[in-house]
Structure 1
Amino acid sequence: MAHWLVKSEPSTWSWDQQVAKGAKGEAWTGVRNHTAKQYMMKMKKGDRAFFYHSNEGKEIVGIAEIIKEHYPDPTDESSKFVCVDIKADKPLKTPVTLAAIKTDERFAEMALLKYSRLSVQPVTDAEWKMICKLGGL
C-alpha cells in the first residue's frame, strides 16, 4: 500500500466537508499539474492519504482513503487530467503543522518541503509512521 498527501485550501474544500460526504466520498478534481496527475494515476484503491489544509492552517488534519482509482476529471475541458475518489478515514488527534515538519530534520527530504506547491504527493512509509505518531495515532 502506498501513502500520499493531498492538499486543499479549507475555504475551497475542507476536512469537515470531506467527512460530511461519508462513505460515498468525493471526487478529488481540479488537479492541473502533470506531476500530480502522474501520482494520482499511481493511486490504488485502499491507499491512504494525509489530508492537508494548505494556505489557511498549513497542517495535516486527517487521513483519507482512496476509494476509486483514477478516471477522467469531469471538470477538465481539455480531457488531459484525472481524478480519484476519496473518503475521510479518521482525523488526526493533533493536527501536524507545516512549521513542526519544517523544524524536524527527519522530514528534510519530504515532498511537502521539497515540492511545496505540488497538490498531490507521495509520502514514504517512514514519514507516514512519524506523522501518524505526531498526530496522536
Structure 2
Amino acid sequence: MTYWLFKSEPDEYSLQDLAAESSGCGRWDGIRNYQARNFLRDKVKEGDGVLFYHSACKVPAVVGTAEVVRSAYPDPAQFDPESKYFDPKASEDKPRWYCVDIRWRSEFQRPVPLAEIKGIPQLAEMVLVKQGRLSIQPVSDDEWQLLQHLGSSTPR
C-alpha cells in the first residue's frame, strides 16, 4: 500500500464533509497544480491510504484518514464553463486535470498540528515539512504509522 497526504481547506471541504457524503465517499477534485496532478494521475491508486490535512485555517493539522476507492479519471469540472475549475485548454480527448474518489476511514482523536509535526525529528524529511504548499504528497510508511499514533494519543 502507498500512503498520501491530501490537503484541503476545511471551509471548502473538510473531513467531516467527506464523512457526511453518501457512503462516506467523495470526489477529490479541483487539483490545478501539475506536480499534484501528476501524483494523482500516475501514482495514486485504489486502496492507497490518505492522511486528511486541514490547511489554510487557524491550526493546520492532520485530522484523520481516508482510502482511495477509485483511481484517477478526468476531472469533470475542467469541462464545465460554469465551474471555478473550468479549463478552456482541456478537452474530452485531451484532459489536463484528474481526480480520484476517496472514502472516509477515521477521524483522529486529536488533530496533529503542523507546528507539532515540524518539531518531530522523525518527520523532518516529510514532504509536508519540506514542500508545504503541495496539495497531494507522498507519505512514507514510517510517517504514516507515526502520525496514526500521534492522532490517537495525548498531545505532546
- Which interval holds the TM-score relative to the shorter structure? over 0.9
Determine the C-alpha separation between the residues in 2 that align with 1:119 and 1:43. Answer: 13
Contact 1:22/1:88, CA 8 A, preserved across alignment: no
TM-score by length of 2: 0.84
1:113 to 129, 133, 143: 129
TM-score by length of 1: 0.95
| Structure 1 ranges of 4+ moved more than 6 A | none
Partner of 1:39: 39
Determine the C-alpha separation between the residues in 1 that align with 2:115 and 2:24. Answer: 33
Partner of 2:146: 130
Structure with max Cα Rg: 2
* Equivalent residue letter for 1:68: R
Partner of 2:63: 61
Superposed CA RMSD: 1.2
> Which blocks of at least 5 consecutive residues in structure 2 are unaligned?
79-86
Determine the C-alpha separation between the residues in 2 that align with 1:47 and 1:108. Answer: 23
* Equivalent residue letter for 2:35: T
Note the C-alpha offset of 1:22: 4.2
Note the C-alpha offset of 1:24: 5.4
Q: 2:20 matched to 1:4?
A: no
Contact 1:53/1:60, CA 8 A, preserved across alignment: yes
Partner of 2:118: 102
Note the C-alpha offset of 1:87: 1.2
Residue identity (%): 41
